[in-house]
Amino acid sequence: MNATRGIEAIVFDLDGTLVDSRGDLAAAVDAVRAGLGLPPLAPGAIESMVGEGARLLVERALGGERRKSVLDPAIDEFFRHYDRLCLATTRPYPGVEPALATLAAQCPLAVLTNKPERFAVRIVEALGLGRYVATVVGGDSLAVRKPDPATLRHVASSLGVEVHRILMVGDSRIDAEAAAQAGSLFVHVRWGYGRNQAAEEVGALGGLDDPERMAEQLTGLLAERRVASAGAI
């Protein structure tokens, strides 16, 4: 990895990075559980289940292998409930929208999430974030999803940049591994759902602690990388 390379685009995870969607995800999952005669999840339990796509989310919420026989219809029910609930309480973290506005003036931005594309696009657009983002790639947009490096290569191609000049910003080990496998850079946000997944062990440049300082910190990183890249031999 060339530590002096410049950054030409930033790719953000969605849930737990740009938006807090815990309440709506938990509500949809609890509606599925209620239909099966199960009690609601414990408060905060949804956080450890998010990040690897809807199927795994529902499977984890129903107890994994124990409920394989009901998994497919449960996923259909989850989508039905989430379609109704996905914007009930989901909001950008404080400071995210102005951060994207600042960063979009400096380089192309994209969203790469394992959430189904139709929900990701709907949330990004409804919350006013779409004006800053060049593309949104969801968990079903391609034949693979994060951490497969093909996801970041696809985003790089759509933005017209080389994948090793992308900075991935996310809250989980899934994001970190996608960046590492693609040869991209990575910054870990510590306010999201993956804070206990040791994401920074996978080649992170560093961590962000406050979404309201994200623009300032990432702008500084962009400037540092441009200076370092210009001075590289």
129 close to 97: Cβ distance less than 8 angstroms? yes
Torsion of CA 210, 24, 119, 92, to 10 degrees: -20
Q: Is 175 labeled as catalytic in the residue annotation? A: no
How do strand 91-92 and strand 19-20 relate by DSSP bridges? antiparallel
Q: Dmax of the chain from CA atoms?
A: 64
Three-class SS of residue 7? Answer: coil
Three-class SS of residue 120? Answer: helix
Backbone angle region of 162, left / alpha / beta, with phi > 0 → left and psi within -120 to 50 → alpha: beta
- In the set 13, 15, 20, 175, the catalytic residue is 13
Q: What is the enclosing helix (H) or strand (E) of 13?
A: none
Active site residues: 13
